[in-house]
Structure 1
Amino acid sequence: MHTILIVDDLPANREFLITLLRGRGHRLLEAGDGVEALEIARRERPKLVIADIVMPRLDGYSLARRLADYPQLRETQVILCSAAYDEKEARALVRHCGVWRLLAKPCEPELVLDVVEQALRETRPREVSPAGTPVTDEQLGVVGDKLHQKIAELERLQGELERRVEDRTRELQREVRERQQAQQALDAANRRLREESLRDGLTGLYNRRCLDEVLQREIAQAVRHERSLSLLLIDIDHFKQCNDRFGHAAGDAMLRAVSTHLRAAFREEDTVCRYGGDEFVVLMPGTTPVAARDCADRLRSRMRELQIVQEGSALPPVTLSIGVASMTTSRRSVTAMLQAADRALYRVKQAGRDQAQLSSDYMALDLLPPHSAALA
């Protein structure tokens, strides 16, 4: 087992070498600069020193020469590492400093392990300035200046790259925000379009398309939870005559007034739709046939009290004809329920209008469990 001293002012570089050599069974020491390394080396007498060239206080070249000043450290081998150096001058200087090997960063792990093992096997003392020419502090300073210039250039380039990355990151974040805002606006527009597609333009009530969707969903819910479901098919009596006599503006005013009254008359869970022309549908979850018919009768009575004025003239009182249908064990489709309500409405018109009637076949069918309902 040998003692190896690793010297670098960057902890990450020291950690790299320590991790690489830890499994080889050596005693590993570390220092953050040349001065600290020299003190540790005098005390611990390492077999090998692996040092960075450019370090604060005492660089790698100077450390290698200073180690040779101590007789007990003449057999200590030195490996220098650097990310940027003038190769010709640097290699000449390492020979003068008695350095075993110069490695370029980033170091290949296999190469490092191979060079370390060779250095540890070396038994000859280090020879400083083998060519007989001493290396002056001025020479070391020239190389150090060049190294610092290159490092400064690398730091400048790194800073410029980091600024570009930050600028691009801000630009990408801005693009992401803009896309998110655009997507939110698009989603909101789609929701508005969706809502508009389900609304009647004149009355603001849900339209027939919405009715088909909601009725299908409510039928499925009623079947799943075994609860009643009823609907009212409402027709404004003699609407065509009113429209022909007072004009289309009066007819539109009547439709809007009736729609407002219908919205106010029913519960929040009920769905009020304009079915087409002067016909409306009210979908009433959890409501039995009889309860639905009672609601229809109360609606007719209240509707007669509605007073509609168009351009200063009072329009005739509004009366309603209403067909009532409920879901049964054999009537579980949108078409079946609407057809049943339409048949009941037809009988009301045949009987003189201004009435509410249940579908004639509901009593002969097995009804689902009843639930009470009332107008709001």
Structure 2
Amino acid sequence: MSGTVLIVDDLATNRIVLKVKLSSTPNRVVQAATARDALRLAAREPPELIVANTRLGGQSAEAFLRALRRVARLARVPVLMLQSAPSAAERQAMLRAGADDILARPVPEALLLARLRNLLRAHHADTDLATQAGDAAGFAETQATLTLPGRIAIHGAGRAGVRALRSLLASCTPHRLSVAGPESAPRPGPQDALILRIATGEAEAGLRLLADLKAARDTCQCPALVLLDRAEAALAVTLLDMGADDVILAPADREELALRISRQIERKRHTEALRGKLRSGMAAAIRDPLTGAYNRRHALPWLDRQLSQAVLGRKCLAVMLADLDFFKRVNDRYGHAAGDAVLCAVTGRLAAHLREGDLLARIGGEEFLIALPDATPARARRVAERLCDAIRATPVKVPGQPTPIPVTLSIGVTIVAVGPGTPVPDMQTVLEEADRALYAAKAHGRNQASFCTRSAA
């Protein structure tokens, strides 16, 4: 995946070597020799990825990382740190300061590029999700602190290795752990992270397990961390490209392992929050903001699909237009706030008398569209009469009004009845049939249901 990569290193030779390694990728490379220059460049044009030395100008890069994460537009830009020499304490410090990954030089080129692809892939996915959720500006507004314990399922081919890993994690993380080995199943319910233990000689089984977990519905969106024996280190590139979110060589420093796990869980929760916002936005786009019923944008395409399906299944479809009687009088006498309260109460009563799969939509000021898939004429009549009775029977109590407000409902009903060779009914024709039936109900005294005199088909 292409993107802009910012290299931050005070040694020109390191920058040149790294740029050469990245020349085989489609990424555009930008360089900075100091933390100040890097922050200036990143703030002006946020990169998709930052690769930085753990020491800049002879000083720890912690201050650079913390300053970077304080900038809203840069708070979630992935950062890969490169150590001049392995140091567990330094790796922990960088992770706490906000680094996404740390590698010690010399880094095999294949592994470096796999790590970069992994980070870019995750970042692009999150950025796209944030944009769809209408949260492009707020995408980086929080680097949430992990507070609630997560659920972690530990997988592996070898029972002993999996149980040893569970004991190790139990001593350094607050998360709830379950073992999913050959002879035991994980605890039921969603997981916040998966950990795969791949020991020496288990490469084939480990790759197959990762592929299965990333393909399964329950675990495909769950971050997967792999603890890999050093004898199988060459497998890291393949694991990362297959979808592993992190690969750690065993024996792992337990504090670093705990930090990496918590970071993956935090990222998952952030992604889930974005998905929740996206779902809420999508729901808001098809719901009436006042009553919570579906709106016209959802109702008409839904009805069009149901008409086509009715023909294919040779089934009936009942379509109703319902209108509150003399609703203008309610607004004029009691005020629009009271009118809104009446609309909400009526919507709730209508919904209570419909079954799952039926449609209820507010398509006008006081007008509702109701559709009953696979409904016989007899059922449609029962439902329409029951809806009128439900609205008439109990006046609506409105806050601030001394007495409840009486309300009645008129309904026009048409039945789409199809048979062999019947063409797909035109939706506009069906709605016109229901509308004529509604006018008939109004003309005959309101507070009743009237049926179309002929089939809409």
TM-score, structure 2 as length reference: 0.40
Higher relative contact order (CA 8 A, sep 6+): 1
User: Which structure features the higher share of helix residues?
Assistant: 1
Which one has the largest radius of gyration?
1
TM-score, structure 1 as length reference: 0.48
